[in-house]
């Protein structure tokens, strides 16, 4: 889509885009190219000598069992966050859309975790589940459940998944609610006249018509689980115990800033960039095509 | 003349927008499923049960933390702590806001101020530069236009988290560590805002630009008197989103600032 009426000036448009482009080049393209370059180099921790090593960093990365383990952790984590987060929000959205009374109150109470910072979300849930002072941990112990996120990797994973899902529920909820409200009422009424019950109407009409929203949210949730959950992981478990909750982004940070292995950290950054670019392309190809039904 | 026409246009826009937001408000507080009312008592019961359970689970962590903030440290440590608020609310908050807790020197008040400044700078900065660049991309034809647009757009694919180390190096080379500039400037570029404003500008009727040109208004006059007043709603929506984005930043402030005093609230909670 283009404008028919435009202004003419040889220099003004450049002046207008200059601030945006300057920041983009200095803080996006320059670092990204640095990362690319660094990923092909080997540097000692003091920055005295630099050696060009080609693809060795990547080769080392993909034979490193810790990195592969981190890949696996990230995959499990994002699948859990995306599926649990989306199913719970869809369930709540369907019922909130259906409720005849108090629906405004429910909706308002369900959307506010969005305003809670990721770091704070991690702390809140750790506070509940901490084995010594957490109140939920106490209840679980009383119920006979062996619970210790500080020592047990699976418990730690459960903790960060719950915190991450909790923080993202309101976002998913809002989008599902908007999607549900945009479904023409006549379709649902027609199905009801034909004798379809609520469950049947949901599976055969509502869910298929929600698929563009679902797909969009899927990509958003995966990106969220990959990148934005850093704060939750850092505050709740710091990637531990061992490596049980160390997602890829956390490993980039740890290897780069704590272990000072710059070449490997840069190579990991490049791998992450490739993943994001892939996800974005998928998102745009499919959303452009599927959003009009 | 252009001032008059823009005035009447934005006036009309305001009215219709107010109308839209009023219906949205009503829709939010009223059930959407008015059309189809069925008598299914069990499903009604299930609906409210699920929603109440959902609200309870979602509110629980914050409630517990609130209770913990109203009792003394000893009460919190005595597991299980009670779920009834205690009498120390005011003391605890005064201490947290003014003196800070544990080994962090600054009180939460100072941290919240830092957070506020950064979030405001990020939100306003993003809106300002995105408005300008979207205006340039939509209302001008110049060599390299699509190239500029795509260059901005690609940044969507590079969140701070994937390029922390090199970005840190750039900031340190520019001697911006531990400054508000270093904290905010790299986060100001925004593909989302530019894209949103571009989409919005494309829906502004061409007649307005035509009228402005006939009246002899230059591009910047048109920008200030027509485009900016019309974009107020988009700006407000974006401001909320970007403010939350800025407020919730964690990794970047953690890395780019060293002393506890400069830490922002989000990263200062721990």
B224-236 per-position pLDDT tens digit:
998 999 988 889 9
Which two structure tokens, joined as six digits, stand for B81? 């702590």
CA A42 to the chain's CA centroid: 31
Q: How far apart are CA B84 and CA B69, in angstroms?
A: 11
B43 CB neighbours in chain A (<8 A) are 98, 198
Task: Please identify which residue in the block is written with the tokens 């974006």.
Answer: B238
Predicted complex ipTM: 0.75
Residue B265 has pLDDT above 60, yes or no: no
A143 CB neighbours in chain B (<8 A) are none
List helix spans (H) across chain B: 2-29, 41-68, 73-77, 89-98, 108-139, 145-154, 164-173, 180-188, 191-202, 206-214, 219-222, 228-230, 232-247, 251-256, 265-268
Comparing A63-67, A236-240, B160-164, the range with the smallest average pLDDT is B160-164
Looking at residue B2, its pLDDT comes to 35
Q: How far apart are CA B87 and CA B72, in angstroms?
A: 9
Q: How far apart are CA A251 and CA B42, in angstroms?
A: 49
Q: Which of A1, A107, A117 sits opposite B28 (nearest CB)?
A: A107
Q: In this structure, are residues B135 and B235 in contact, taking their beta carbons and an 8 Å threshold?
A: no
Q: In this structure, are residues B67 and B85 in contact, taking their beta carbons and an 8 Å threshold?
A: yes
Q: pLDDT per residue over B85-120, tens digit each?
A: 777 777 777 777 666 555 455 567 777 787 888 889
Comparing A152-161, A243-252, B250-259, the range with the smallest average pLDDT is B250-259
B219 CB neighbours in chain A (<8 A) are 7, 9, 12
> Is A71 buried (19+), middle (13-18) or exposed (0-12) by CB count in 10 A?
middle
A16 CB neighbours in chain B (<8 A) are 132-133, 135-136, 140
Q: How far apart are CA A82 and CA A172, in angstroms?
A: 10
Between the two ends of chain A, the Cα-to-Cα distance in Å is 21
> Is B203 buried (19+), middle (13-18) or exposed (0-12) by CB count in 10 A?
exposed
Looking at residue B258, its pLDDT comes to 64
Q: Which of A46-60, A266-280, B192-206 shows the highest mean pLDDT?
A: B192-206
Q: Which of A17-21, A117-121, B5-9 shows the highest mean pLDDT?
A: A17-21
Interface check for A27 against chain B (CB to CB < 8 A): the answer is yes
Interface check for A16 against chain B (CB to CB < 8 A): the answer is yes
Shortest distance between the Cα of B15 and any Cα of chain A, in A, equals 24
pLDDT band with cut points at 50, 70 and 90 for residue B76 = low
Q: pLDDT per residue over A75-101, tens digit each?
A: 999 999 999 999 999 999 988 888 777
Mean pLDDT taken over chain A: 82
Q: Is the model more confident about A209 or about B81?
A: A209
Comparing B99-108, B137-146, B257-266, the range with the smallest average pLDDT is B257-266
At residue A52, φ and ψ (nearest 5 deg) are -85, 120
A8: nearest CA partner in chain B = B140
Residue A250 has pLDDT above 70, yes or no: yes
Comparing A110-114, A142-146, B52-56, the range with the smallest average pLDDT is A142-146
Interface check for A101 against chain B (CB to CB < 8 A): the answer is yes
Q: Which of B30, B141, B152 sits opposite A20 (nearest CB)?
A: B152
């Amino acid at each position: 889509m283009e404008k028919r009426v435009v202004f003419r000036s040889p220099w003004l448009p450049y002046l207008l885009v200059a601030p945006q482009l300057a920041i983009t080049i200095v803080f996006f393209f320059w670092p990204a190219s640095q990362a690319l370059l660094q990923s092909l180099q080997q540097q000692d921790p003091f920055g005295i000598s630099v050696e060009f090593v080609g693809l060795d960093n990547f080769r080392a990365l993909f034979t490193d069992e810790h990195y592969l383990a981190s890949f696996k952790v990230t995959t499990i984590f994002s699948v859990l966050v995306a599926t649990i987060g989306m199913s719970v929000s869809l369930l709540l959205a369907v019922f909130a859309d259906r409720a005849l009374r108090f629906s405004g109150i429910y909706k308002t109470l369900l959307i506010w975790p969005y305003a809670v910072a990721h770091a704070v979300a991690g702390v809140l849930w750790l506070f509940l589940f901490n084995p010594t002072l957490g109140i939920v941990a106490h209840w679980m112990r009383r119920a006979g459940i062996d619970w210790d996120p500080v020592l047990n990797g699976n418990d730690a994973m459960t903790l960060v998944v719950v915190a991450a899902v909790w923080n993202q529920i309101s976002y998913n909820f809002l989008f599902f609610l908007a999607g549900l409200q945009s479904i023409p009422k006549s379709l649902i009424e027609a199905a009801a006249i034909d004798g379809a019950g609520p469950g049947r109407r949901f599976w055969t009409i509502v869910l298929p018509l929600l698929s563009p929203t679902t797909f969009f949210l899927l990509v958003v949730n995966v990106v969220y689980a990959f990148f934005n959950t850093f704060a939750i992981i850092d505050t709740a478990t710091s990637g531990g115990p061992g490596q049980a909750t160390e997602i890829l982004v956390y490993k980039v940070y740890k290897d780069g800033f704590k272990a000072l292995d710059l070449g490997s950290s840069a190579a990991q950054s490049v791998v992450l960039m490739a993943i994001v670019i892939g996800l974005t392309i998928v998102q745009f190809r499919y959303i452009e095509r599927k959003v009009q039904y | 003349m252009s001032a008059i026409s823009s005035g009447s246009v934005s006036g009309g826009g305001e009215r219709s927008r107010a109308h839209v937001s009023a219906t949205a408000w009503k829709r939010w507080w009223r059930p959407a499923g008015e059309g189809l009312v069925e008598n299914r008592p069990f499903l009604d019961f299930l609906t409210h049960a699920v929603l109440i359970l959902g609200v309870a689970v979602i509110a629980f962590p914050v409630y517990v933390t609130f209770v913990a903030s109203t009792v003394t440290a000893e009460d919190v440590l005595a597991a299980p702590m009670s779920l009834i608020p205690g009498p120390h609310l005011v003391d605890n908050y005064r201490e947290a806001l003014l003196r800070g807790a544990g080994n962090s020197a600054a009180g939460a008040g100072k941290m919240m101020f830092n957070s506020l400044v950064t979030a405001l700078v990020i939100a306003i900065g993003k809106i300002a530069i995105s408005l300008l660049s979207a205006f340039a991309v939509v209302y001008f034809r110049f060599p390299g236009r699509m190239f500029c647009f795509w260059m901005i757009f690609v940044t969507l694919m590079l969140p701070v988290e994937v390029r922390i180390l090199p970005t840190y190096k750039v900031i340190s080379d520019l001697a911006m560590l531990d400054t508000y500039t270093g904290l905010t400037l790299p986060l100001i570029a925004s593909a989302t805002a530019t894209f949103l404003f571009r989409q919005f500008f494309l829906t502004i009727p061409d007649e307005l630009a035509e009228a402005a040109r006939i009246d002899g208004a230059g591009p910047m006059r048109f920008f200030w008197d027509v485009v900016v007043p019309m974009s107020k709603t988009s700006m407000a929506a974006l401001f909320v989103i970007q403010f939350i984005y800025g407020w919730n930043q964690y990794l970047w402030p953690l890395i780019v600032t060293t002393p506890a005093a400069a830490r922002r609230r989000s990263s200062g909670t721990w």
